[in-house]
Structure 1
Amino acid sequence: MKTSEKFETRKKVVFAIVLTLLIISVFYAIYMLFQAPSGVAQNEGERVKTDYVLMVLQCLVGAIVIFLPKKVEDHFEVRIPNAIEITYFIFLFCAIYLGEVRNFYFRVPYWDVILHAFSAAMLGALGFILVDYLTGIENLNLRLSPFFVSFFAFCFSVTCGIIWEIYEFLADGILNTNMQKFITAHGEVMIGRAALVDTMKDIIVDVLGALVVVVFGYFTLKRKQKESAA
């Protein structure tokens, strides 16, 4: 079996596993929603109704966006590398199933930071793929410098991170969830600068994660440019 075929098989297996876990988790969260107490958690690690509302929301969103790479490939006739797709599925597994369902956000120190760095790097790589697709469209006739390509990839990654923070803010306001972690594990509502720490930390990590990939991508493009000119 060729390497490409092996990656294709692995991609399908990972996709099926993650999608199955997300669907099962939706039914689990709905069941627990009726069993959990209302109000604010009294003990660290205790889950209340709003926690399961968030779990249902996250799992449903995950079960929908897991099809996004396939839809993009079919609609735009662009090829996303299998490695990138597998990485994307693993990210959904870590962020939603492990993070929300298995409560890794509270069980594992810096789990949120790790995921934001991971997603920023992945989105930065996706930004390069997007530019590669655009430059391949004959009607556009784009010829972009390595710096501009890298700058676009950086902005694309950070913008996606900011959109995610907006999503968290709206979810917390509409569904009374705690995605932005403005309520401590002991039920204390933070105010002022303390309430902004989680959001700003996420944005800073997004910027740094994207920057690492973009710098690497910039020097890779510069090297290829020199090789093609030689």
Structure 2
Amino acid sequence: MEQQKHNYKKIAGAVLFVTLLASCIHAALGAIRTPVGYIPKSTDIPGKSDYRLMLLQCLGGLIVMFLPKVIERLCHVDLPHYACISYYVFLYCAIYLGEVHRFYFRVPHWDTILHTYSGGMLAIIGFCLFTLFLPDAMASSPHAPLFAALFAFSFALMAGCLWEVYEYTADGLFGLNMQHYQTAAAVQLTGRGALYDTMKDIIVDALGAAAGAGYGYLLQKRRARAAVEAA
């Protein structure tokens, strides 16, 4: 059973790697072939800046997809297979479906769905990290599940905030519109309108993180009760 789960993890990672690598080539060719100043007639059709963003996201995805392996080797831990697979699924949905296949424009609230999912996913990963690095605390303290949940929530929200910093930096360096501070017609928003996308993302990140941390807390409490009853 454990070997089967490991195979699923390897297959998911291989599919993601090949998909992102092919998408890098597609985005690079699109950026080269698209004339400067070309304005797409529809949001379904990528422009030159869209291809640049696509290439940036795919290259970034190829790098960060190896983050679980880096954590495992540096920290000498084995992350749960379901955590790694859920991470690969998120990258596939966010980059390949979202950017390459334009789901951010074709599917209503796709960005909100992904931010909510990522908040829950990162909270569960944070919970796993807490239990892996502090196993004695989880076994000895009755308050450990609560602190693990707080750590998981904070971990997920920190990752969400760092993502917004990345978007802000990319917008400034490459002239992108990842934070949606301007309309499709390049009209810059002002006031609360310019903050809407960023704040919405952080809020749904927090909601997803709270759900993931709450699930981990309840699961750990149930395991603790089962251990007491078994003893």
- Structure 2 residue runs of 5 or longer lacking an equivalent are none
The Cα offsets for residues 103-159 of structure 1, whole Å up to 9 and x where unpaired, read as: 110011010011101111110001111111221379xx9855221111111000000
> Are 1:41 and 1:186, in contact at CA under 8 Å, matched by a contact in 2?
no
Report the secondary structure of 1:64's partner residue.
helix
Q: In the alignment, residue 18 of structure 1 is paired with which amino acid? A: L
Structure 1 match to 2:29: 31
Distance 1:41 1:192 in 2: 27
Structure 2 match to 1:74: 73
Structure 2 match to 1:15: 13
Distance 1:216 1:28 in 2: 40
Identity among equivalent pairs (%): 42
Distance apart, 1:39 and its partner CA: 4.2
Structure 2 match to 1:63: 62
> Are 1:151 and 1:214, in contact at CA under 8 Å, matched by a contact in 2?
yes
Matches within 5 A, 1:144-155: 145-155=144-154
Distance 2:147 2:83 in 1: 22
- Equivalent pairs counted in the alignment come to 226
The Cα offsets for residues 44-90 of structure 1, whole Å up to 9 and x where unpaired, read as: 31422221111111101101111111121122111111111111111
Distance 2:11 2:18 in 1: 11
Distance apart, 1:202 and its partner CA: 0.3
Report the secondary structure of 1:153's partner residue.
helix
RMSD value, Cα: 2.0
> Are 1:32 and 1:52, in contact at CA under 8 Å, matched by a contact in 2?
yes
> Are 2:40 and 2:46, in contact at CA under 8 Å, matched by a contact in 1?
no
Structure 1 match to 2:101: 102
Matches within 5 A, 1:190-209: 190-209=189-208
TM-score normalized with structure 2 length: 0.91
- Structure 1 residue runs of 5 or longer lacking an equivalent are none
> Are 1:41 and 1:185, in contact at CA under 8 Å, matched by a contact in 2?
no
Distance apart, 1:4 and its partner CA: 1.6
Runs of at least 4 residues of structure 1 off by over 4 A? 141-144
> Are 2:40 and 2:47, in contact at CA under 8 Å, matched by a contact in 1?
no
Structure 1 match to 2:121: 122
